[in-house]
Each structure stands twice: as C-alpha cells, then as structure tokens.
Homo-oligomer: A and B are copies of this chain.
Amino acid sequence: MASPALWALLRGCRGRVLRPRGDPPGRGSAEVVATSERYAVRRLPFARLGDSDVAFFERVMPGRVVTGEEEVKPFNVDWLKSVRGCSQLVLKPQTTAEVSQVLRYCYERNLAVTPQGGNTGLVGGSVPVFDEIILSTALMNRVISFDKVSGILVCQAGCVLERLSEYLEEQGFIMPLDLGAKGSCHIGGNVATNAGGLRLLRYGSLRGTVLGLEVVLADGSAVDCLASLRKDNTGYDLKQLFIGSEGTLGVITAVSILCPQKPKAVNVAFLGCQSFAKVLETFTTCRAMLGEILSAYEFMDEKCMELVERHLKLSSPVTGSPFYVLIETSGSNSTHDEEKLNNFLEQATASGLVTDGTVATDDKKIKALWSLRERITEALTHEGYVYKYDISLPVGKLYDLVTDMRARLGQSAKSVVGYGHLGDGNLHLNITAESYSHSLLDAIEPFVYEWTARCSGSISAEHGLGFKKKQFIQYSKPSEAVALMQRFKAMLDPKGILNPYKTLPSAPESSTR
C-alpha cells in the first residue's frame, strides 16, 4: 500500500470535468436531442429517485452528491454530443466501500446506475439513457502502489490516463496503452471498455496487461482480484469478464496493470503513399525490417488530412498524397533503431512504395506528427453530426469498405473518411453530415454491418457496443454466444440495474431504432 503522499499524487482534477483537447464546437448540451426521443427505447421498470434516496447518499458521501440540473448536465451528454440522458443525480465516491454502499442500496431499491469514467466513449455507453443514477469515478484517483522492479502499477479506477503516463515516465516506465482521449479518460473506463488505442500493436491488449481488478457487483459485494503477479493460474480468471463489459456486470474500482519500460529511443516517420495497395505493402515491408522496434502503424486518407488542416489549422510537412502512414519505432538503442528505420525508408523509397515523407526524433516534432493522426476524431466533430464505425477487417480489405460507402452515399454525406490502426486490422470509418438524419443512417446501416459480417470482421474493434451498437451484436457473434452473455448478465446482475440498455441487445419489443 502506498504512502498518503503517493496516494495524493494523482489528485488534481477533482471536481473538474476534463475533456479531450478541443470540445466539439459551439453546441451546448441543451441542443442535444434526448436519447429517449431520438431512439424508440422504452424505460424499464426501475424505481424512481426520491428525496429519501438523495438523503441516504448524502449521508454516505457528504458533499459529493451532485443534484443541480446545470451541474448534472455535462454528465448526461456524451463527448460526441450525440446522446443525452436525464439523470438527476451524480455520485462521486472516493472509496470502494462507498461504491459498495451505493450499489447495495440501489440494488435493494431497484434503482438503475450508470458507471462513468472520463465520459469519452464513442458509442453512448457512458451516459444514462433515462434517469439512471450516474456513479462517477472522478474522485477515485489515487495511485495505490508502483513497483519499479516488476513495472506493476496498482491504482484506483478514476486515475486519468495521461496523469498515470506522466507519473510513470518520471520513473522510467510508460502505460501499455495510449489514446487520443488520454487527457480525460479514466483507467477504469479504459479497462471497462477494453480500450485498444495506439500502442496495442506493440504491447498487446488490456487482456494481457491488466493483471488484476477490484470490482463491485450489482448487489454491492466487492470482489478483490487485484493481484500484482505476472502469472496466476489459480481458478477461473474472473477479471476478464469485467474487462470490456462496459459497466454492465460490475463497477471496476481498482486496476493492477503491467507497464513497459520507457523506450530509450523513439522515432516517427510520416509518409505519403500513392495507393492503399502501397500502404499495405509498406506495412509488410516495415514489419519485416523494423521487427521488434515497430510500435505503431497508423494510416489516414487525404480527406482526413484536409479536415485536420481545415478545422484545427494543423499543417502537415507531407502533402499531396492520397494516403498517409505514421510509423513509430520504440527501442533501447537509438543508433540501432535509426539504422533499421533508415534501411527501411531507403528500400520503401527506392521501390516506390513511399513517395514523400519526414522523420522525427525530437519530442516536439514527434508530438506534432502524432497530432495529425490523433486529432482526426476532434476535427470530424467540426463537420456537424458524425456517424462513427470502428471495424475490424482483414487488412487487405480494410479500405474497400470506405470506397464502397463513399460510392453508396454519394452527395448525401458531407465526408466519408477512413483512418485507423492498420497494424491491428482496425478501420475507423467516419461519415459526416450537417446534422443527424434517420434517412442517412438507414443508408449506412445495416449495410456497413452486413459488409463487415461478409468479411468475418467485427462491428466494434475497440469502441465497444454501448448504447448505439448493441442491437447489431449478431453481425459479429452467433446467437448461442449472445445467449450465453445474457446468462452471465442475469447471473451477476439479476435485476439489471447496472448500465441498463447497453452492450447486450434488448428484447424485440423495446427496439432502439
């Protein structure tokens, strides 16, 4: 267990609602259509919040119960401003015991609860659909321990990813995951959604790096599987069920995670390719030549580049190509790494795979190149309403979906763009329009899901299903698997109070469309 000083180290955003760099522009949450209006979803028969409930919570956590309409508003709306609940209550526990007390009470009272981390999710999973109580992890932001020999970090669920990264970097380590929302997202939310991000290619998924979890179940009982061991084969690996369950099976209160050593040398190459075929061939070539030092292979199309330049005023040192690739190396010897990278670049240029490019080794230029890729999500929100798709596909077919969608939608969409983690087979397909429209949505869905299913892809590579995608699970999972998931849900949360209307499909009579 850590000293009080260590525990206090990561505090600092108490009470503030941080957002990723650049809020979606100028559209207040008041304008967001309520989820219950836009989608034909029916409220389940949970109890309604009463004054005596609020009084109870005030006794449990005095001064950390938020009830004012204006104060609650930002917790009701997702970052994309695409869904809005009408919760009247946000609770901010500081300890696992408080989370237990809250859930035990809610379970008893049949009050529905939506756990919320940094509220940076993209599928409407982190905000209520109706009046669910919001259980925010914002004040659960203590580092519990960090062991420099093993690289194992144990912390509360509400630690902001970027704060953890900064804390670890001082000690010569890094977090095994990194993503655009790092300035706001909580590690508990990352784990609850099995976030992928920019380092998965190198350090693997959270299913391998998360070593332990502490979780509070729907009935308030806490399960402590917060082991700090690299290997532990004593019984079933319970924690895995909570990783990626989007708060529907339990509330993650603490995380134990294996952190890699900070690489001594990092290089970023930003390259232009004349076709997607060349993007693919560049990937195969660099994977072979860079081998163990390859830590990211990202791609974006020229339309993405236009958007970050237009809306965010970023400027790229590489221009005039239909596709761009960002390659990152991380290694322990800068001379070796540069030699490997140079050999690769020489070959890629000589063979015409790459027609333009730049390489960065200093931190500032590296950050600037990464911004071109990381801030696409943000740039897109400036276009109006964004229809977001996060698809796993065999890499060879990754861009065909973008081309097909562009042809299908024609002038009815403002932009159809493709970018993503090519090295992981993960495409982010985004379609923008001035505002939300049912007819455009009907032109996109289920076409996009059918296309994906034909390639045995996944309709959610890393974003999860949340509220917006849950009815489409059958495109990626057989019905026996979905039925089994429903049995797990019924076993762990028989009253269904935890993040209702999320992840698993609702019964046909309460369709979400």
Interface residues of A (CB under 8 A from B): 147, 149-150, 193-194, 196, 200, 204-205, 207-209, 221-225, 227-238, 240-241, 243-245, 249, 261, 263-264, 284, 287-293, 330-333, 336, 339-340, 392, 394-396, 421, 424-426, 456-465, 469, 473, 476-478, 480-482, 484-485, 487-488, 491, 503-504
Chain B residues near A336 (CB, 8 Å)? 333, 336, 339-340
The reply to whether A333 and B291 contact each other, CB–CB distance below 8 Å, is yes
Q: How far is the CA of A238 from the CA of B196 in the complex (A)?
A: 18
Query: Which one of B225, B241, B456, B461 contacts A477 once the chains associate, using CB atoms below 8 Å?
Result: B225
**A461 (CB) vs chain B CBs: closest residue:** B231
Give this chain's copy count: 2
Residue of B whose beta carbon sits closest to that of A123: B233
Which residues of chain B have C-beta atoms less than 8 A from A481's C-beta? 223-225, 235, 238
A231 close to B196 (CB less than 8 A) = yes
Q: In the complex where A395-B149, A485-B235 touch, is A332 in contact with B458 (Cβ < 8 A)?
A: no
Docked CA distance A289–B261 (Å): 11
Contact of B488 with A236 in the complex, beta carbons under 8 Å: yes
Alpha-carbon gap, A504 to B463, bound state (A) = 35
**What is the bound-complex CA distance between A224 and B478, given in angstroms?**
7
Check if B292 sits within 8 Å of A331, measured CB to CB.
yes
Contacts of A487 in B (CB 8 A): 491
With beta carbons under 8 angstroms apart, the residue of B243, B392, B463 that contacts A229 is: B392
Knowing A223-B481, A264-B291, A395-B149, say if A231 contacts B504 (CB, 8 Å): no
Further 19 A-B residue pairs, CB within 8 A, beyond A229-B392, A231-B458, A241-B241? A147-B394, A208-B208, A224-B478, A225-B478, A225-B481, A229-B425, A229-B461, A231-B392, A233-B465, A234-B458, A234-B460, A235-B465, A235-B504, A236-B244, A238-B481, A261-B287, A261-B288, A291-B332, A336-B336
B261 and A222 form a contact (CB under 8 A):
no
User: Across the interface, which residues of B come within 8 angstroms of A200, CB to CB?
Assistant: 230-231
* Residue of B with least CB distance to A503: B235
> How far is the CB of A362 from the nearest CB of chain B, in Å?
21
- In the complex the two chains form, what is the Cα distance from A487 to B223 in whole Å? 14
Known: A230-B426, A426-B230, A458-B227. A289 touches B235 (CB 8 A): no
A231 pairs with B424, CB closer than 8 A: yes
Whether the pair A485, B150 counts as a contact (CB closer than 8 A) is no
Q: Determine how close the nearest CB of chain B comes to the CB of A168; give it in whole angstroms.
A: 16
Contacts of A150 on B, CB cut-off 8 Å?
Answer: 394-395, 425
B residues less than 8 Å from A392 (CB atoms): 229-232
Please, how many angstroms separate the alpha-carbon atoms of A425 and B289 in the complex? 32
| B205-A205 in contact (CB<8A) | no
A236 / chain B contacts, CB cutoff of 8 Å: 241, 244-245, 249, 485, 488, 503
In the complex, the 7 A-B pairs of residues with the closest C-beta atoms, listed nearest first: A291-B332, A208-B208, A240-B240, A232-B458, A231-B461, A234-B476, A336-B336
Q: CB < 8 Å: which of B204, B230, B241, B491 contacts A491?
A: B491
